[in-house]
Amino acid sequence: MEVAANSVIGKQRISNEDYVGYFKNQQGALIAILADGVGGSNGGEIAASTAVDFIGQAFQNHHISSIIDTKAWLSQTISDVNNKIVEMGIEDESLSKMATTVVVALFFGNQYLLTHLGDSRCYLLRSSQLKQLTVDHSYINFLIEKGEVKDGENIDSNLQNVIVKGLGVSSDADVDISNIQFRPGDQLLLCSDGLTKMVSDEIISKILNMRLSGRQKVDRLIDTANDNGGKDNISAILIDDLG
């Protein structure tokens, strides 16, 4: 299994509020975490780094005994880091509006657990076909689901980055956790909206299907997002089974 990750500021932001990381526990199991922070001053950066480091460091000390136990551990850990981010905002007024998306993939054996909050995404490339595994927890999607707007309509740009679920958004951080088989040749991509708003699914699929190393694919994805405007921070983690 090959892992490649990168996070860049993009072309229009003055700071990088994305944060990525991957960690292994003593059993050699892997967890990959990507977060996209929001909230004035340096709050977004703090929320994102807190999320990734908290979950990653907890995983390094976690022993996987069963799927059920690890699902419960992951759910509790996300709840714990949500509480931590909320408390940090209460204690420091300058951080009161900070929050972050998070997307997590936890690998053990030939399977993985997947969960997320917010509009950072996970894609699976299998047999050359790209599939989005996550549903954006965005205000726009919320309006679409309620039937108040139609997909594809022009929507106020101020609403483009509003998330309805995330770490630090509320005291409730319940998550759905999927258990998925990881097959030979599969590629799993975790990415922030700075990538997906600049690069179409068609181009993402094309790049992942290229005969390149994982790092080269990540760099190509990020370069493409920057070439298309780089309006936000751009981050990606690619896990390749290598077949």
Average pLDDT across the chain, whole number: 93
Measured CA to CA, the distance from residue 103 to residue 101 in angstroms comes to: 7
CATH of the domain at 222: 3.60.40.10
Which residues neighbour 14 within 8 Å (Cβ) at sequence distance 6 or greater?
Answer: none
Predicted confidence band of residue 82 (pLDDT cuts 50, 70, 90) = very high
What pLDDT score was predicted for residue 93?
A: 92
Both structure tokens of 117 = 């909050």
Both structure tokens of 188 = 């799993």
Q: What is the pTM of this model?
A: 0.93
What are 198-215's pLDDT values in tens digits? Answer: 999 999 999 999 999 999
Instruction: Report whether pLDDT(6) > 70.
Output: yes
Q: How many Å is the Cα radius of gyration of the chain?
A: 17
Q: Count up the domains in the chain and report the number.
A: 1
Domain encompassing residue 181: 2-240
Instruction: Report whether pLDDT(2) > 70.
Output: yes
User: Would you give the DSSP letter of residue 195?
Assistant: H
Instruction: Specify the amino acid at residue 103.
Output: V
